[in-house]
Amino acid sequence: MTPLVPAVAGALVVAGVLALVAGLRPAPPRPPARTHRPRPGTRLAAVTPRTRALLAAGAVLGLVIAVVTGWWVAVLLAPAALAGVPLLLSAPAAATPIARLEAMEEWTRALSGVLTAGIGLEQALLATLRSTPETIRPEVTRLASRLRARWSTEDALRAFADELDDATGDVIAANLILGARRRGAGLASVLEGLASSVADDVRARREIEADRAKPRATARWVTIITVSVLAFLALTGQYIAPYGSGFGQLLLVALLGLYVATLVWMRKMATGRPLPRFIGDTARAGAS
């Protein structure tokens, strides 16, 4: 049996396990097609040039290790380690949602201040365009454009909530829709209280992300230390010599696959889920 056979077998075993895990995951309901431009960051990012460079470097490194040592499993493990482990140990992108929440809080507070001057809701929405934070400026700009195009205020606000695509944005839009229907004098105070509530939510989310960063840092250091110790033992002793056989390489792939599965599980646990929405296409898709 050549060393290439167990390496290929190990690769097929790992691929089968990953395919089984992916197949057992429940598929989320598919929302209907949107007519507006999706919010930046909602699509899956393509493979970056950095990732492609790491994969190429890992493939070359794995091939060199395989030719020199006979460990053909390195052709599979080296690219996966160089490109995958840094991704798994990195922090999820949580700064963008928090920044959008801060922008919603600032815009809501500014709108409340404008409404206290006694002008109408539509004029107040147009007046806040200049002071809107950059994070949600495109959405507010399109809201103002719809109002200028003689859309009904409620339809424009519903489209605005759908573009924000956030539960907090739904709460803000719902209060504005009620204000547009009733035309009462208490909308400014309601928005002021809502802005304070969003500010509290931002502080809470920052504290949660700080707590989530601690286990990620622990896992990062444990992985670095483990890889360093194994590399040192591989160069200075016979500790990993039993893994050089065909069955040993297959067992090594299985053990490393379990370790990667643990990192994926940890990353999934540390990733927050967005609150359910109740306005717009996403809410209708969830209800159906």
Residue 232: what pLDDT? 83
* Whole-structure pTM value: 0.62
pLDDT digits (tens, 9 = 90+) for 29-54: 444 444 444 443 333 345 778 888 88
Please check whether residue 257 is in contact with residue 17, taking contact to mean a CB–CB distance below 8 angstroms: yes
Q: What is the per-residue burial (b if ≥16 Cβ within 10 Å, else e) of 101-125?
A: bbbbbbbbbbbbbbbeeeeebeebb
Q: List the chain residues with pLDDT less than 50.
A: 1, 28-45
Q: Can you point out the beta strands (E) in the chain? A: none
Residue 133: what pLDDT? 93
Residue 185: what pLDDT? 74
Q: Which residues, other chains included, contact 160 with Cβ-Cβ below 8 Å and sequence gap of 6+?
A: 139, 140, 142, 143, 146, 169, 173
> CB 195: neighbour CB atoms within 10 A?
21
Please check whether residue 75 is in contact with residue 62, taking contact to mean a CB–CB distance below 8 angstroms: yes
Residue 38: what pLDDT? 41
Q: How far apart are CA 111 and CA 113, in angstroms?
A: 5
Residue 2: what pLDDT? 56
Q: How far apart are CA 22 and CA 3, in angstroms?
A: 29
